[in-house]
A and B are shown apart, each in its own frame.
Chain A
Amino acid sequence: MDQRNFLYMFYGFAAAWFLLAAYLLTLVSRESKLRKEVDNLKRMLEEREKKG
């Protein structure tokens, strides 16, 4: 492979993969937060129903 622009080609590929990986990680963390919130609210409602 021609080595002239290899470094910049690597930067381009790295930028693409980094963006996709970062978004995927954001999705995973958002999902766990949402799940936690839904579970907390459901538990809270169940406790209220038991009391009421």
Chain B
Amino acid sequence: MKNKILMAVALASGLYLVRNLYVILLQLPDEAAQGAIYRIMYFHVPGWITSFSAYFLAGLASVWYLIKRDPRADEYAVALTEVGTIFTMLGLATGMVWARIIWGVWWVWDPRLTWAFICFLIYAGYLMLRKTIDEPGQRGRIAAVVSIFAFVSVIITYKSIDWWRTQHPGAVLSFRAGEQRMDPAMEGMLFHNWFALTAFAGVIMMLRLGQERMQRELDALRRYTHSL
């Protein structure tokens, strides 16, 4: 039953993404100043929102783990962090291509970009750290503490465009800017793609969660085999 629901959501999000691609590429007009390249925004911005949401939920799961010592919370934290890291990579890669056209360079050490990169390194470090600790209880405890502190980098990355006004554009989305700065049709499409990407992220997170559970089962079987 659970697998069928997961398959249905995967299929729906896939179809939704294809429909969005059709609208983005064939129905929406070019942006006056940027031409076609502005369409990267439809993956860049939702990619970041999805990754930050995943890190936020991973932080909550980590707090839950520290309070209850529930292994399921640790499983959620690692699955969410891994998916969040993939979407961080997506945000960085699409941002670099966009920057190449708009700024003429692939990368600048602007506060927003620098903090986004630091954020990626911290969460990649979290995933590597987990591989180095064998004892599940200790691994969960240390990883949870790292995850909670790592979320500070997400807050700084998110707020960096308000705190330091340099190369990266400031807030554009209406919920953040407090006013309509983008054509409503373009902004609406951005939320459509964010919704589709979030649904897709949910599906891959559930797949990753299943693997984490299988890994625990495997570890338990290995311990039992050694004890015989």
Contacts and interface: CB of A to CB of B under 8 A. Distances in A.
Given A9-B36, A41-B222, A16 B204 contact: no
Interface in B178-224: 200, 204, 207-208, 210-211, 214-215, 217-218, 221-222, 224
Contacts of A42: 221
Contacts of B93: 12, 15-16, 19
B61 to A, nearest CB: 19
B40 interface: yes
SS class, residues of chain B in contact with chain A: helix
A24 B211 contact: no
Contacts of A35: 214
B108 interface: no
Contact of A23 (B39, B86, B221): B86
B36 A6 contact: yes
A1 B200 CA distance: 28
Contacts of B162: none
Interface in B103-148: none
B27 to A, nearest CB: 11
21 contacts: A1-B30, A4-B35, A5-B35, A8-B97, A8-B98, A9-B36, A9-B37, A12-B40, A12-B43, A15-B90, A15-B93, A16-B90, A19-B90, A20-B90, A23-B204, A34-B214, A37-B218, A38-B217, A38-B221, A41-B222, A42-B221
